[in-house]
Structure 1
């Protein structure tokens, strides 16, 4: 794993972590396995030692996570394993109890609070949810320009131009004056992605955005994400149960199990060469 943002762990600590991981059957990522094929190997986001509990239940257990610029990382695992909590922590929607988060080299969370750096990079991190969260009384254009105008004070002509460009990227420009109620589920999800693109993010976090869609429509939405990566260099972290997309389009596959990252590998290593039994059981259950 690249250590562009953090110093190398002392040998004794790193070896101890590896020994514990091996005892649990966890695949330990080595330097040659961590760089994705789409980006240039530069780290965009890094989480160190994240812990998060809700009541007496610990959801994240000392999680270390890293993404490179321009890569797609697919995050899989059972419900409640910590996937969505990690995304929400990266997006600033929930704060960990412990740990650090860095975005593009800036520490945005440390010592149990958001730092001043977070205000500088928060617009570079977009998030798309399963439920679209579009305002039904507004047309598509108004849904898209609302945040840029309120957050950045963007002018009307500027925000409309950006909205048209964002909608064009997801194939929805012809629906710019439609209302969400006039759109199908897949179309609404594309609009939600376009809205996230309005802030020109470097990182797009997607939480189960295709789970409510029919397989052909879900495939179209996932194809949009792949094009955003290939054409615009946007890094995408996607929580999904779509193993076909994970195996074909992802640069990394991260498997959560019981609040920990049990596997972090290339799709080939995760699905073909991994001996982690929890991952095998999960993949078999999802596929069949």
Structure 2
């Protein structure tokens, strides 16, 4: 199986990148973490103009009826720019879980949604700003009755809330979880690419002993290892979008998470002490990757699911 983005997907990704490159997302992330949502919501409205919230909403309900592959293309860019908010929940998951009357508002970007699905997704992300809060339990989906929180996350911009179940809305298709997991994996791949680019650029600028540290063989090897891991993970994410099997989606999550985490560690090592400062943007991506690697199930859980999917037995 070989996945290659179409010309339309490449153009869509470029449009998203151009929009977000001028949006000052680091400032919006910092504001979001302090509970001031307007800068982030402004970005959300701009994304809605490009059709991001409408991707998985059926055409009959005002959406684009796009594919999981289109979703991955979008979330790689969103992860690269560390856009705050319940993007996975609103764009990837809610279109499969929300009542039909909510779908046009989701597609237009007027409605933000969030989802809790214990035990792997115990909290609802950004429930204080979402107009639709859902909970998946025992194969069904419910509208949340009340919300308490936030629960502290390693990423200050990920505000997590406890959710109590409420009105039953119907069955919860398993595809909703896979789409959410796929979107998180794409975010990790995009964030890892940003970290690699920043580390590479800094290595060309920072000097020791009169030479740019990027000229040292040890630093080249560190960056090359990251580039290799990211290049190996990306096809798994795109391939999982084509097959949409549990085994492939979990494999993509593990690979993207480990590659992004290596990128984060390497970027911090290359930057040195300045990478630890709160004022440096690097920390926003470091904490985002750290949070997302454990979100929607950790590596151990997903490895076990891959093993089960491969039907590996002793002997």
**Which one has a larger percent helix, Structure 1 or Structure 2?**
2
TM > 0.5 fold call? no
TM-score by length of 1: 0.25
